[in-house]
Structure 1
Amino acid sequence: MIRIAFGAETPLSSARTLAALMIAGSLSACAVGPDYAKPVIDVPSRWSNDKSAQSPKPAELAGWWKKLRDPTLDRLVDEAVAGNLDVASAKARVREARASYNQATGALFPSIDGSASATRSQSAGAAGGRGGAESYGGSSGRISNSLRAGLDASWEVDLFGSNQRNVEATRYSLDAAEDDLRAALVTLIGDIAVNYVDVRSYQARIALARRTAATQRETARLTRAKFEAGSASRVDVANADGQVASTEAGIPTQEAAMAQAIHRLGVLTGRAPNALAGLLTKTAPVPSPRLPLPAGVPADILLSRPDVLAAERRLAEATARIGEAEAALYPSISLTGNVATSGVRLGDLAKNSSISWSFGPSLSVPVFNAGQLRAAVAAAQARRDQQFLALHSSVLVALEEVENAIVALAQERIRYGKLSEAVRNYREAAGLARTLFESGSTSFIEVLDAERSLYSAEDALIQSRVNIAAQYIALNKALGGGWSGAVETAKPVVVDSNTGPRPAAFLRTPSQ
C-alpha cells in the first residue's frame, strides 16, 4: 500500500513532489496475480432435436411475447417491467455495484483534508505577550488568541496493483449486477406470460364445462321425459343427473386456480393481488404463438443468456480478487505530507514565516503473519474455482433447458394434432349416440360414454393448446429472451428529504 500526501507547497517542494508522483505513477503500473481470460467452453454445434439439413436460423428473441398476439399480455409486460419489486431490487443492486466501483476508483487518486482552528485562552501571569499569540494584560491574567489552518493530503500509490485489481473486480461486479437485472427481466416476462396463459386457459376450461353441463342437463331432461313415458329406467335418470353434477363440480376448482393466477399477475406488476381482476374478467382466447420458432445454435446462449453472462463476470471478479490478495504479500509504501500555518491574526496566516510543512515516505514490509496472507490468496483461488465451476454449471443448465423446451414443444404439437382428431371423432360419436337415444335405438349408456369422452377430449385439447404456449414461453426464456428496451437504473426508490444539517430537536427517537 502506498500513500502519497501533499498539500500547499513551496516551489522547491512542488518540484520534488512532482518527481515523486511521477515515480509513483510509474510504479503503479506493476500488478500481481493472474490476468483474466475468458474460458473456452465446449458446446454442441447443433441442438439434438434439430434434424434439418439447412443451417439453423438465429433465434428472434426481441419482444418474443408479442408473437403471442395478445395486446393485453403486451400491456401487462410493460406494467410489470415498470412496477415489479424484484426488478426494482435488481436495479438497486446495480446502483450499489456502480457506487462500489466509483468508490474503488476513487482510491486511485489523492485525498485531501483541510483543517482550521481558532482558540482564545486566558492564563494567570503578568500582563504582556510573546511568541505567536496576541495577549492582553489584566488583573485576572493573560488572554491570548491563536489561529491555525492546514491541509493533509495522501495518495496511495498502487505499487503492486492492489487497488487496480479492486477496481477491476468491482467493474466486473457491476457488469454482473447488470446481467442479473436482465436475468430478472427474463424471469419476470416469462412468469407474466405463463400466468396470463393460465388465466385464459382456465377461462376456456370453465366455459367448456358450462357448455358441456348445459348439454348434459338437456340430455338429463330428455332422459327424465323418457322415464316418465316408460322408455327409460330410473338408473338412466340418476346417471344423467350425476354426470351434470360431476361436470359442474370441476368449475369451482378451476375458478379458484384462475383467481390465483390473476393474483399472481397483480403481484408481478407490483400492485395489489386483485388489482387486475377487472382487466381480466372478460374472456379471451388462449394465446397461440407463431411457430416454428428458430432456436439458433447452442453457442448463442453464451451471449444471450444473462445468467450465463453474469456467471462469467463473477468468474472475472474472482480472478481479479486473487491479484488483490497477492498484492498484500509485497511491501507497501506510503507518502504523506501536510502544510500548516498559524498566527494570532488572519493576516499572519499568509506570512511565509508562519507556514510549516512536512513530506516523506514510509515503507511497510510483511515479515511474519502466521501464513494469514498466503491463506487469503488460497481462499481467493478457491473462490475463483467455485465461480469457474458455477459458470460451467450455468452453461449446462442452459443447454438442458433449451433441449427440453425444444423437445417438449415439438412433441406437444404432435399431441395437439392427435387430440384435435380425437375431438372431431368424439363429437361425431356423441351426436350420433344422442340421435339414436332420442329415437330409442340405443341405450343411455352409449350417450353417457360418448358425452363423457367428448368432454374429456375437449378439455385435454385446451390443455394441450396451453402447453404449446407454455413450452413456447419456456423456450424463449431458455434462449435468454427478455426485455430489449432501455431500463432506468439511476433513480432511487426511496427519496430522502430534509437531509441537510439541522438542529437536533428535529430528530426523532427510535420509539417515535
Structure 2
Amino acid sequence: MSSAKENHHPTPGLSRSAVLRARSVCVALMLTGALAGCAVGPDYGGPPRPDLPSHWSSKTASHRDAGKLDRWWLRLRDPLLNRLIEEAVQANPDVAKAKAVVREARATLQQTAAGLFPSVSGTASVTNNKTSASSSSALVDSAPYTLHQASFDSSWELDLFGGTQRSIEAALRGEQSSEEDLRDSLVTLIGDVAAYYVEARGYQARIALAQRTSVSQRDTEKLTRSKYEAGSGNAVDLAKATAQAASTEANVPTYQAALAADIHRLGILLGRPPNGVASLLAQSAPVPAPRMPLPTGLPADLLLSRPDVASAERKLAQATAKIGEAEADRYPAVSLTGSVGTSALRTGDLAKYSSVSWSVGPSVTVPVFDAGKRQAAVRIAEAQRDQAFATFHSTLLTALEDVENALVSLSRERVRATKLTEAAKNYREAARLSRSLFETGSASFIDVLDAERSLYSAEDSLIQSKVSAAKDYISLAKALGGGWTDPVDISTPIIVDANTGPHWRETVK
C-alpha cells in the first residue's frame, strides 16, 4: 500500500538533526512497508486547503513573498529592542519549556521506531545445588555441585498490517507539531517583547509631555496671578489656571505606574526579575516608528508561514495516523521468538554443543472476542481526527482574521496619525497666539485655557497614535508568522543531572 503523500517543509530555525532523524525514520518506514506489504487505516493526503480568498481585502497589503519576514523587528530601528529580543529568545521560560517538549517528542519517536526491530535479552546465572533422592531403605544425598547457565532470548513482532508503521507516523508528526509549537512560542515572545517595549517608550513620552505641559501651565498660572494681584484679573481665572496645571500633573503618576508595569513585564519575558531591565530603560527614547512595509504575501501562504496553523495541520496528520494504529490492533499479530541456552557444571563446558539447547518459532495472536473494544478504539480515533480537522480549520480562519484586522488597523491608524499631527501643529500655533494676546490684554483667559487644554490633548493623542501604529505593525508581523529564523539549540536540557550512574543514595530531602 502506498505511503502518505505530504507537503511539509522542515521547520526553519531548527537544527538539521531533526531533518536527518525524520529521513532515517522514513527509510525505516519504507523498509517496513516492503516487508509487511500493507497498512490499514486512511492515508494522509497532505494539508487540506479550504476555500481561501485569493487576496487580502486591504488595498495597502504588500503581496510580496511573506516568507521574507526574517528579523522584521529590525525595521523598527531600535538597537536596544534588538538586544532585548536576542536575550529573550535565549532566556525566556516558555521557550525553554517548548524546547523540552520537542526533546520529549523526539525521544518518543525514537522509542516508537524501536518497535520495528527485534528485541534481544541475555541472562546468566551461577547457582549452588544439592538434591536428595529416597530409596526403599534410606534417603540418599548427592554431592553439592555448581551449575553455570547462560541464555539469549529474542522476539520480533512482524508489522504485517502496518500498526507499528502508523505509530511511527503519528510520533513523527507529533515531533513536527512540537517544532512548530516552539516556533509559535518564539513568534509570540518576540511580538510581546516588541509591544511592551513600544508601550514603555510611549509612556515615557507621555510623562515627558505632561511634565512639559504642566510647566507651561504653571507659567500661565503665574501670569494670571500677576494680573489678579495687579487688579486686571479675577479670582475665577486664577483658580482655573491652578486647577488645569494640577490636573495635568496628576496624569504623571498614572503614566509612571503603567510604565513600571511594562518594564516589569519585559523583565519577566527576558527571564529576569521584574526590575531586571529597569536600568536599560532609565533613559527615555523615541517611540519606534517603522517605515518599511511588511510583505504580506497571499492568504494561502499562512498554511506554511503561521506556525500555529502548521502545528494544527501536523496534529491533524498525527490524528489520521492514529486511526490506522487503532485499526491494526483489530488484526492478528504475528511474532517470531527464539532462545538459545546453555548449562554446564564448569564454565569452560558452556560452549560445548552437548550443553546447548535452542528453540525458535512463530506465534500468532488473534482477537476473538472483546465486546467491541477494538472497534470502539477506531471510532474514538476517527472522532479525534475530526476534532483535529475542526481545530485546524478554526486556527486557519483565526489567522486570516488576525491579518485582516492588523492590516485595517495599521492603515487607519496611519491616517489618524496624519490628522493628529496637523491638529497638534495648529493647536500649538493657537496656544502661542492666545497666550501672546492674553499678555497684552487683547484676549480673555478662557481662550488661553481652551487652547492649552486642546494642545495637550492633541499632543497626547498623537503619542498614543504613534504607539498604536507601531503595535499594529507588530501585530501584523505576528499575524503573518514572522519570528525567529536562526538555528535554535534544543539539545541542552534545562537541568543537567550529575552522578546518575550507580552510587550510594543520599538521604531523601
TM-score (norm 2): 0.90
- Counterpart AA for 1:507: E
Match of 2:40 among 32, 50, 54: 32
**1:47 aligns to what?**
56
- Counterpart AA for 2:336: L
Q: Structure 1's 179 and 24: CA in aligned 2 closer, same or farther, altered over 3 A?
A: closer
**1:419 aligns to what?**
420
Shift of 1:317: 0.3
- Counterpart AA for 1:325: A
- Counterpart AA for 2:64: K
Shift of 1:42: 1.9
- 1:103-157 deviation per Cα after TM superposition (whole angstroms, max 9, x unaligned): 011110111111000011345689xxxxxxxxxxxx9973210110010111111
**1:4 aligns to what?**
none
Match of 1:83 among 85, 88, 91: 91
Shift of 1:166: 0.3
Counterparts of 1:430-445 in structure 2, within 5 Å, are 430-445=431-446
**1:313 aligns to what?**
314
Aligned to 1:76, the other structure's residue is in SS state helix
Give the distance between the partners of 2:419 and 2:428, measured in 1 at CA.
14
- 1:156-202 deviation per Cα after TM superposition (whole angstroms, max 9, x unaligned): 11010000000000000000000000000000000000000011000
Give the distance between the partners of 1:298 and 1:380, measured in 2 at CA.
31
Shift of 1:291: 3.6
Aligned to 1:489, the other structure's residue is in SS state coil
Give the distance between the partners of 1:267 and 1:292, measured in 2 at CA.
30
Give the distance between the partners of 1:33 and 1:259, measured in 2 at CA.
56
Counterparts of 1:334-483 in structure 2, within 5 Å, are 334-483=335-484
Give the distance between the partners of 2:282 and 2:32, measured in 1 at CA.
70
Give the distance between the partners of 2:298 and 2:331, measured in 1 at CA.
47
- 1:402-452 deviation per Cα after TM superposition (whole angstroms, max 9, x unaligned): 000000000000000000010011101111110111111122111111100
- 1:19-69 deviation per Cα after TM superposition (whole angstroms, max 9, x unaligned): xxxx998552321001001222221111011278xx832233111000000
Counterparts of 1:68-79 in structure 2, within 5 Å, are 68-79=76-87
Greater alpha carbon shift after TM alignment, 139-148 vs 42-51: 139-148
Aligned to 2:364, the other structure's residue is in SS state strand
Give the distance between the partners of 2:489 and 2:422, measured in 1 at CA.
50
Alpha carbons 1:118, 1:148 under 8 Å: kept: yes
Shift of 1:487: 0.4
Q: Structure 1's 381 and 66: CA in aligned 2 closer, same or farther, altered over 3 A?
A: same
**1:236 aligns to what?**
237
**2:72 aligns to what?**
64
Give the distance between the partners of 2:181 and 2:34, measured in 1 at CA.
37
Give the distance between the partners of 1:143 and 1:368, measured in 2 at CA.
51
Alpha carbons 1:25, 1:157 under 8 Å: kept: no
Aligned to 1:481, the other structure's residue is in SS state coil
Give the distance between the partners of 1:411 and 1:291, measured in 2 at CA.
17
- 1:456-487 deviation per Cα after TM superposition (whole angstroms, max 9, x unaligned): 00000000000110000000000000001110
Tell me, which stretches of 5 or more residues in structure 2 are unaligned? 1-30, 135-139
Give the distance between the partners of 1:36 and 1:298, measured in 2 at CA.
23
Shift of 1:76: 0.4
Aligned to 2:158, the other structure's residue is in SS state coil
Shift of 1:300: 1.2
Alpha carbons 2:157, 2:333 under 8 Å: kept: no
Give the distance between the partners of 2:228 and 2:59, measured in 1 at CA.
60
Give the distance between the partners of 1:330 and 1:342, measured in 2 at CA.
39
Give the distance between the partners of 2:133 and 2:269, measured in 1 at CA.
79
- Counterpart AA for 2:345: V
Give the distance between the partners of 1:24 and 1:443, measured in 2 at CA.
93
Q: Structure 1's 240 and 389: CA in aligned 2 closer, same or farther, altered over 3 A?
A: same
- 1:388-412 deviation per Cα after TM superposition (whole angstroms, max 9, x unaligned): 1111111110000000000000000
* Count of residue pairs brought into register by the alignment: 472
Shift of 1:361: 1.2
Shift of 1:294: 3.0
Give the distance between the partners of 2:115 and 2:296, measured in 1 at CA.
46
Give the distance between the partners of 1:100 and 1:42, measured in 2 at CA.
35
Give the distance between the partners of 2:32 and 2:208, measured in 1 at CA.
78
Give the distance between the partners of 2:162 and 2:306, measured in 1 at CA.
32
Give the distance between the partners of 2:44 and 2:90, measured in 1 at CA.
36
Shift of 1:334: 1.6
**2:225 aligns to what?**
224
- Counterpart AA for 2:308: D
**1:114 aligns to what?**
122
Shift of 1:507: 2.9
Aligned to 1:350, the other structure's residue is in SS state coil
Shift of 1:508: 2.4
- Counterpart AA for 1:222: L
Alpha carbons 1:150, 1:341 under 8 Å: kept: yes
Give the distance between the partners of 2:329 and 2:470, measured in 1 at CA.
55
Counterparts of 1:163-174 in structure 2, within 5 Å, are 163-174=164-175
Give the distance between the partners of 2:335 and 2:357, measured in 1 at CA.
20
Give the distance between the partners of 1:323 and 1:395, measured in 2 at CA.
26
Give the distance between the partners of 2:33 and 2:452, measured in 1 at CA.
86
Shift of 1:213: 0.4
**1:331 aligns to what?**
332
**2:14 aligns to what?**
none
Aligned to 1:292, the other structure's residue is in SS state coil
Which has more radius of gyration? Answer: 1
Aligned to 2:126, the other structure's residue is in SS state strand
Greater alpha carbon shift after TM alignment, 27-36 vs 446-455: 27-36
Shift of 1:331: 0.9
Match status 1:302 vs 2:303: yes
Match status 1:93 vs 2:101: yes
Q: Structure 1's 182 and 333: CA in aligned 2 closer, same or farther, altered over 3 A?
A: same
- Counterpart AA for 1:469: A
- Counterpart AA for 1:41: P
Give the distance between the partners of 2:217 and 2:480, measured in 1 at CA.
46
Give the distance between the partners of 1:296 and 1:125, measured in 2 at CA.
90
Alpha carbons 2:70, 2:483 under 8 Å: kept: yes
Match of 1:103 among 111, 121, 130: 111
Alpha carbons 1:331, 1:363 under 8 Å: kept: yes
Alpha carbons 2:156, 2:337 under 8 Å: kept: yes
Give the distance between the partners of 1:324 and 1:123, measured in 2 at CA.
52
- Counterpart AA for 2:239: A
**1:17 aligns to what?**
none
- 1:344-382 deviation per Cα after TM superposition (whole angstroms, max 9, x unaligned): 111010100000011111111111111111111011001
Give the distance between the partners of 2:506 and 2:340, measured in 1 at CA.
38
Alpha carbons 1:434, 1:447 under 8 Å: kept: yes
